[in-house]
Every structure is written in C-alpha cells, then in structure tokens.
Amino acid sequence: MDRNTVIGFVLIFGLMLAWMYTTMPTQEEIERQRQERLARDTIPEYETEGRLEQRFEEEEDVLLDRPADDRQTLGLFGYQSVTDTISTWIETPYYRARFTNLGAGPASFHLKEHLKWDAGQVQLMSDTTRSAYSMEFLSTENYNIETDNLLFHPVSHDPVVSLSHGETVTLQYELELEDGSKMIYSYTIDANSYQIHLNIDFQGIEQYISGRSFELIWKPAIPPTERDIASEAQYTAAYSFAGGVLEQFQPSDTGYSESIITGNVTWVASKSKFFTQIMKSGEQTDGAILSAEHAIDADNGETVHHYTTALRTRLGESLSYNYQFFLGPLDYYQLRDFDVAAYDMVDTGFGFMRWFSDPFVKYVILPFFSFFGGLTGNMGVTIILFAILVKIVLYPLTKKSFESMAAMRELQPEMEAIKEKYKDDPQKQQQATMKLFKTAKVNPLGSCLPNLLQIPVLITFWRFFQNAIEVRQEPFLWASDLAAPDIILELPFTIPFMGAHIAGFVLLMTATMVVQMKVSGQGNTAPNPALKMMQYVLPVMLLVIFNRLSSGLSLYYLIYNVLSIAQQMVINKQVDHVKLMESVDKKKAKEMRREKTLEKKKAKKEKSSQPVK
C-alpha cells in the first residue's frame, strides 16, 4: 500500500468520525429525551388515597366472563365471599408491581432500571387484568378450577406499599369456601432483589382436590422489549431444570406445542432475550409442563412467541408448600443468588464451546465488566479496555504469526520472480514457492495456531454481546445501545441478511480489516490470485453479518483490529530485510553450485559413455 492510499484511508476515517460525532446528540440531550419519554410511561404520583382508589376503579373494570350462577359452573368454588377486584401496588428500588385479588398474585411488573427500546418501562407480563400465576386442579365435583378466575379476600388493604433497601413486606390472600375451608397465599417481598417468596397453606380445601394433585402455572407471555423483534425471538424460550440438567424448550413450528416432564423438577422458566421469570419449588415436585404458542402478528408479520410454564405438585402429608419466584433481568449476580444454574439460560457460546465460554464469561468477562464498568462509568470504554487486555494476553501468540507475515511480505519480489519463471507450470510454481519459504525459514502457516487458539474467545464474544444485559442500552459515542446495532443510516430497502440500515462501528471494523490484511501482506503474498480477493471478500462478508449484531461486538473487533495493525506495523519495521535476503541469496548460491556440479557430472558421464572412434 503506497503513502497516498494510507493518507486517503486516514482522511476517510477522520471524516466519518467527525460527521458521526457532530451529528450525534449530546449526553445532556439523550438524558433529557429519555426522561421525557420515561415521564410519559411512568405511573403518576399518587396524590391521595381517594385518587388512587379512583384510578383502580378506572383501570380495573375487569370482565370475569362468568355466568350469573357460578355454582352451576364451578360447584363449591363458585361461592364468592368477595365481589370486587382490589389491587395493591408494591414499590421497591428495583420494580413497581401491582398485585390483585383476582387470582391472588402479581398482575403487572414494571422494572424501574430497564427500559424498552422506545424508552417505555419494561413490563414482564402481557396480561394486566389478573394474576400471572394460577393454580389449576380438578375438583372432586369434576370442575376444572383455575384460581386466576377466582376472587380472593385480601387480608391487607393498603393500596400502596413502598419499600426501601433492607425492608420486607408480606401480602396475604384467602380463598374461602361456603363451608369455611380455606386456601391462604402469603407473599414475602424483599426490597433487595427481584425474588418473591410464596407460601400456600391448605386449610380444608385440599379435600376437594381430585387426585390430590395441582399445578402452579405462569400464564402470560413476556412482551418484546427490543427494536428487532425477530432477533429477540431467537432467544425467547422456556426451560426446565431437573437432576442438575438444564433443558431448553423452543419449538420452531407455528401453532401450539407442549413438553411434559415427569419426576422431580427443581424449577421452570420462560425468558426473552434479556429478561426472565423463574418458578422454583421448595419441595419435591411431580413434574412440569412447558407449552409454546407461536402465531403470526397480522400488524407486522412477526411471529409472536408465548410460553407458559407449570410445576405439578402432589399433595402429601404437609399442607404447606413454598415457591420462589424470580422476575427480572438476566443479570448474573442476581440470578446466582437465586440459583447457581439459572444464568446458564443465557447464550454465551455455541453448544460445543460452552465448556470454555461459560466459565470464561462468569469468571473473567463479567468480573472485569463489573469492576471497570463501575470505575469508568461507561461500558464502551470498558469494552476498549478489555480489547487491550485480550491483545496483551495474546501478544506472545500473535507475535510469531505477525513476524511470519512480515517475512513473507519481504519475500514478495522473490515470489513474483518464481511466478514469472513458472507461469506455465503451476505445480512447479508451488514447489518453488514452498522451497523459498523453507530456505528463508518462514512458515506460511505460522499464523494458523494463534488464530485457532483465539477462536474460542472470538466465539464467546460473538454470543455474549448479543445477550449481555450489562451492555444493553449502554451508550457510547453515537451508539445509544451497545447491545443493538448503532444505526447511522436508514435504508429505503432491505438488503438480505444485512437489514434496512447501515451500522457505524461495523463500517469502521470492515475498513480496519482491509487495512490489517494490507499491512500484513496476506493478500499480496498469496500465490493463488483468487486468494488475493479474500482481503476484500472476507471484510464485506463480515460487514453483512455484523450489521445486524450488537454495536458492542463491532466496537470490540474495531479496537482489536486497530491494535493488530499497530502491532503488525511495528513488527514489519523490526524484520531485518538484509539478513533475510542474505540467507536466501546464500541458499540460492549453494543451490546454483550444486546444480552446476550435477551438470558437470552428467556431462562427464555422457562423454564417457560415447564409443571411441
């Protein structure tokens, strides 16, 4: 690459960076826009208890869809001692939840620290009219009972409960039949986490449960939170954990699918790309049911994914049963406190690489991001620091590779001479080239081993940045979300595999790949002209692939490529061209003397074999 080309690249990069920097909003503008959008989606301040009750009446005009005579449809469970829906709002530092007596459980769950792509608060429940959790069983009168259709009596009538760190509260609901038998739900809420504890006490109602078996079911879907719904759907699934083994349930067909697990199941879960709900039993269970319903949304043509999960329990001698719920982000440290295997739902690498990627993420990447993210206050800077760290760690491996590339670059004139000499005989051309490498003590495959050793790291980053809540909605320069593409240009058409936009860091990453291949001489030293094209084809391929992936991933590769270019340029200067060529010349002189000796012996032999005249 000549000096003018290098200057051209530098000017292009400078202009692109200047344009992106001047057109992006300032941090103050971003924060002001976020606060304005957040204010529109946040529940208003509660001025008086009377105003709050009025709000409940307005938003909870619930149609229970039951006939006038419930006794004809639910038998004993048609008796209702309560006729009104009553809600309680729970405020913690992490979330705002509404509990309702219609089913006795949470009916909405807004995460305070996490927003959707359009700046609305993340809501974990698609149905906000009744409890997300429902107990289902067959009554002794042969009625299918679903408790999310039944009105419980709330023991506490506080409309709003606000908790600070370190505080807990207990909400209690009672379902009472006409004969006085009861079922009591007791929720214990800890303000320090996303966990909720539920205790279910049977006080006589158990005698009306046929087969002495019931299921606790999570019914609503977790609504989409990301701009790219199709990409988010790829990571939406249900899970079961039993016998120390995590199983994923993710059918690809549209319509209804079901998976039934028998035996003791520790917990079940459904999750989207970044958020999850988990239901864990404190006692031995009798099995689990995971179901999926995939349907096409008529409005946008996207597939809607709706997963339900259930734990089946058989009534034993004990009439008290405990459950632990987790409703929140797929954050490693929060999930670790709930169950050590829960974070395994996060896709950190392809199946055959999980032996490496899981511990690498848990014990290297996440601690680094947690420490330096808190220290710098910016995940973009943290990604840059991590790229520098990886480059330092891999330096001994890449040094030999880059030295081999530099040496091959110096041998380029000799390789061109060989190509010209044997232009009509590709086999001899290849043999002569390999002989040249051997003479100069250069291994053309010297870069393979270091690159192979880097593959597990690169694959881990490929998957991690797509699913890491740590970088979600973290801004850096013009990128507003490092877990999503940093779109700098919307296209009026869609490019297959690439999408209908252009991402900024991907363009820069692609450019650095071309420069790196030029500096290393990879394309120029290839004896096959088709291989030379790879220095352009490969970057373009990665441009298409990376354009829809997270900008954090592109930023990491961009920095890594820049560091590799600098390293290669330094090594190029360190390669002793004179010494290298002297070695080649000595070897060539030796070969020439050997060839002349062989020619003399051959001529002498031919002369001696001629008949004497």
pLDDT value at 596 more than 80: no
| Residue 47 confidence (pLDDT) above 70 | no
For residues 160-184, give the mean pLDDT.
92
Q: Tell me the C-alpha distance between 319 and 214, whole Å.
A: 12
> Cα separation of 541 and 378, whole Å?
30
pLDDT at 566: 84
Asked if 215 and 200 touch (Cβ cutoff 8 Å), the reply is no
> pLDDT at residue 119 above 50?
yes
Strand partners, 240: 247, 268
* 61, pLDDT greater than 50: no
Predicted confidence at residue 268, as pLDDT, reads 96
Is residue 488's pLDDT more than 80? yes
Q: What is the pLDDT of residues 289-325, one digit of tens each?
A: 999 988 776 666 667 789 999 999 999 888 899 999 9
Phi, psi (degrees; rounded to nearest 5) at 120: -75, 155
Measuring CA to CA, how many Å separate 6 from each of 9, 102, 155, 523, 565? 5, 69, 75, 17, 12
Residue 549 to residue 543: CA distance in whole angstroms: 10
Torsion of CA 288, 293, 294, 295, to 10 degrees: -170
Block residue for tokens 């409703």? 327
pLDDT tens by residue, 537-589: 777 888 888 888 888 888 988 998 888 888 778 777 765 555 545 555 555 54
The whole-model pTM stands at: 0.75
Percent of the chain with pLDDT over 90: 33
pLDDT band at 13 (very low <50, low <70, confident <90, very high): very low
**More confident site: 298 or 380:** 380
Average pLDDT over residues 391-420: 70
Return the pLDDT at 211: 87
Helices (H), 440-550: 448-467, 504-520, 529-532, 534-546
Give the chain's largest Cα–Cα span. Answer: 137
Residue 65, φ and ψ in degrees, nearest 5: 55, 45
Strands, E, within 15-69: which ranges? none
Mean pLDDT estimate for the chain? 78
Closest CA to 117 of 497, 491, 485: 485
First-residue to last-residue Cα distance in the chain: 66
402-419 mean pLDDT: 66
Higher per-residue confidence, 441 vs 292: 292
The pLDDT score that the predictor gives to residue 590 is: 52
Percent of all residues in the chain with a pLDDT value above 70, rounded to a whole number? 70
